[in-house]
Structure 1
C-alpha cells in the first residue's frame, strides 16, 4: 500500500481541523467583543450578502445557459 495518500490525507485533516478551530475561536471572540452591535446594521449587511448571492447565482445561470446554447445542447423541457 502506498504511504503518500495516507500522509497527505492525515496532513489535510490536521490542517483543516486547526483552521476550523481557529476560525470558530476568532468568530466567538469577535462576538464577545462586539455585543452591542446594532441589529439594523446586521440585517442590512445580511440583506446585501443575500442580494449579491442571488445576483451572482442569476448571472451564473445566464452564463451557463448561453454556453449551453452556444455548444448546441438541447435545452427544451420534455
Structure 2
C-alpha cells in the first residue's frame, strides 16, 4: 500500500496542474479575442516582456558569475570529471 502513495499523488498533481493550465490558457485566449486593439497594446506588452526576459537573463548570468567567483575564492574544485 505504501508503494502506491507516491504514484497516486504524483498522478493527481499532474492531473490538477494540467487542468489548471488548460483553463488558464483558455481564459487568456478568450480575453485576447475579446480585446483586440489593433496590435498597439500587444506591441507594448511584447516590448515589456522582452525587457523582463533580458533583465532576468543578465541577473542569472551575474548570479552564476558571482557563485563561480565565490566558490573559487573558497578553494572549491570546479573542474569537470
- TM-score, normalisation: structure 2: 0.69
**Of 46-55 and 6-15, the range deviating more from structure 2:** 46-55
Tell me which of 30, 49, 68 is aligned to 2:71. 68
Deviations 1:11-49 (A, max 9, x none): 112111111111211221222122214153134213312
Instruction: Quote how far apart the aligned CAs of 1:74 are.
Output: 4.4
Partner in structure 2 of residue 26 of structure 1: 27
Aligned pair count reads 76
Structure 2 alignment gaps of length 5 or more: none
- TM-score, normalisation: structure 1: 0.71
Deviations 1:46-71 (A, max 9, x none): 33122212221222222221232133
Runs of 4+ in 1 over 2 A off after TM superposition: 73-76
